[in-house]
Amino acid sequence: MNLSVFMRNFFSFLLAPEFWCSITYFELDQQVGETFKVPSNSPTVTVDGYTDPNSVDRFCLGQLSNVHRTETSDKARSVLRRSRSHIYCRRSVVLLGALIR
């Protein structure tokens, strides 16, 4: 049996992880909110500036508050509010971003 057949058979018995992606948001050196985990049954995740606290495949920055937010963080968030990024998991992770005008 060659190595590629062995590896394919070996990995076919492994269970998929519960989450394939974790996103942690920081402003400067301070974590804001909790780490967002994307379940393995959701092949994509959208990151945007809106609010949707119940979505399992959408990380919304609009719902995160920070009492120590600086003017620099506010400017960066204003750009994020006008953009949307999609992260895809297809054997590798691909990040696609778009600025919404």
Q: Which pLDDT belongs to residue 16?
A: 73
Region label for 28, one of left (φ > 0), alpha (ψ between -120 and 50) or beta (otherwise): left
Q: Which pLDDT belongs to residue 37?
A: 92
- How would you write the pLDDT of the chain (101 residues) with one tens digit per residue? 566 666 566 655 667 788 888 888 888 888 999 999 989 888 888 887 778 878 888 888 888 888 889 998 888 888 777 777 666 665 555 555 554 44
Q: Which residues pair with 39 in a beta bridge?
A: 19
Q: Name the residue among 50, 49, 52 with its Cα closest to residue 73.
A: 49
Q: Which pLDDT belongs to residue 101?
A: 46
Structure tokens at 41: 């049954």
Name residue, tokens 């600025």.
99
Q: What is the CATH number of the domain that holds 43?
A: 2.60.200.10
Structure tokens at 100: 């919404």
Q: Which pLDDT belongs to residue 64?
A: 87
Phi, then psi, of 72 in degrees rounded to 5: -60, -45
Q: Which pLDDT belongs to residue 90?
A: 54
Count of structural domains within the chain: 1
User: Residue 68 sits in which domain range?
Assistant: 3-99
